[in-house]
Amino acid sequence: MEYYSSHINRLIEQLSSLPGIGAKSAQRLAFHILNMPADQVEKLTSSISDARKNVRYCKNCYTLTDREICPICSNEERDHTTIMVVENTRDLAAYEKTGKYNGVYHVLHGAISPMLGIGPDDIRLKELIARLAGDVKEVIIATNSSLEGETTAMYLSRLIKPTGIRVTRIASGVPVGGDLEYIDEVTLLRALEGRVSL
């Protein structure tokens, strides 16, 4: 039984197709949009259209940008000899928020997952290997601690080590504020193995 007009149903359907948006959230968003002033709705729709038309991949690191070369890659003050490899642009943003990393990035846009049929050719590995022909001293692998992230990290390590470039992996372990009794064994083992001097 249809409760709303076809326009409202179509809006709810489109919103619920977005990741992390269920039927109830989509319904809430739809009614919020319908109650917004017309000029705000116009701004929202035009910003979505503009982003879709103008955002592309950086020619160096493959993050999303509206320029040919992103602001990070074009910044001469950054250390271009150190490349941090991340799975997606959101991971890059998370590291940038720390304000402590001064190198550049390479965004894979995924991770190797044989179960999902994603192999090395399905992510931006060839582009990374091409970048290593330049003056690169270290590659920091910052993939997630998931099975796919670990698989990707191992694959990258085996691929890069023969070139003589230093390959490192971000540490993983106990989160700040975490109680040891509630943390799984693998995480505890990683924390133990990655311990540092005080």
d(CA 31, CA 20): 18
Residue 179 has a pLDDT of: 72
Over residues 32-57, the mean pLDDT reads 95
Tell me the pLDDT of the chain averaged across its residues: 90
Tell me which amino acid residue 184 is. D
Band (pLDDT 50/70/90 cuts) for residue 134 is confident
The HSE-up count of residue 10 (CA atoms within 13 Å, CB side) is: 3
**pTM (2 d.p.):** 0.81
Distance between the two ends of the chain, CA-based, in angstroms?
A: 65
CB 63 within 8 A of CB 92: yes
Domains and CATH numbers, the chain: 6-54 (1.10.8.420), 78-169 (3.40.1360.10)
Residue 34: DSSP 8-state:
H
CA dist., res. 101 & res. 84, Å (int)? 9
Type and span of the H or E element at 168: strand 166-169
Q: How far apart are CA 104 and CA 62, in angstroms?
A: 11
Rg over alpha carbons for the chain, rounded to the nearest Å, is: 21
Report whether pLDDT(122) > 50: yes
Above 60 in pLDDT, residue 1?
A: no
Q: What percent of the chain has pLDDT over 70?
A: 95
pLDDT band, residue 198 (cuts 50/70/90): low
The band of 172, judged by pLDDT with boundaries at 50, 70 and 90, is confident
The answer to whether 125 and 141 are in contact (CB under 8 A) is no
Looking at residue 196, its pLDDT comes to 66
Q: Is 117 exposed, middle or buried (0-12, 13-18, 19+ CB in 10 A)?
A: exposed
**132 Rama class: left (phi>0) / alpha (psi -120 to 50) / beta:** alpha
Residue-wise pLDDT for 50-107, tens only, equals 999 999 999 999 999 999 999 999 999 999 999 999 999 999 999 999 888 999 999 9
